[in-house]
Chain A
């Protein structure tokens, strides 16, 4: 399967713990995006990479959130000191060029107890 993959698919953690999610985009795609989706809502943009450069961050991305794409391939999203409000589906997407459609991964569902 050459689509976007995310790991893990599910994560349950206790409040205050740190979690890290991984996204592997489609190999030739240089653009990578992170979104958050809560029940009954559409995905909300979090951040965007072009190659290894993080070019845009949403106001939703508090200082507890950090994302990296060290070699311009896979990306990680870390949430420090998780809160119950962080419970959501975290989606990763990639695209080949600026105006191309984004291809989404299956998401990582985070539950913070």
Chain B
């Protein structure tokens, strides 16, 4: 069965600095990888996905993620963090044989002015 690990519970960065939120995955076949963001009292919002193709995926709000097959990672990145990026970020994975998507435990990103 597929699984996801987000090794950091909390990431703190200063506004304007680059940010990285880490994610590693495990699947038996080809992975389909997703990042979602959750703001307080709001539902999960889709940021970006990797299905196939270029390893660097660009998504909403200036976020991007790099798929690394050899390291089984799909880290979320942004060149310049904003205070408004502060939220809970979830990485998720599914493989072709399953319809359920497995989410990581989440990483709380705090961007300080």
Q: Which residues of A contact B (CB under 8 A)?
A: 4, 31, 33, 40-45, 48, 55-56, 58, 91, 93, 98-99, 101-107
Contacts and interface: CB of A to CB of B under 8 A. Distances in A.
Interface string B14-43: 000000000000000000101010000011
Contact of A91 (B43, B92, B100, B105): B43
A106 B36 CA distance: 14
Interface residues of B, number: 22
A40 B101 contact: no
A103 to B, nearest CB: 7
B39 to A, nearest CB: 11
Contacts of A103: 46
B44 A43 contact: yes
Contacts of A41: 105-106
Contacts of A107: 43
B90 interface: yes
A101 B49 contact: yes
Given A41-B105, A56-B99, A99-B51, A106 B42 contact: yes
Contact of B100 (A4, A58, A99, A106): A58
Contacts of B45: 104
Which has the most chain B C-beta neighbours within 10 Å: A42, A56, A98, A105? A42
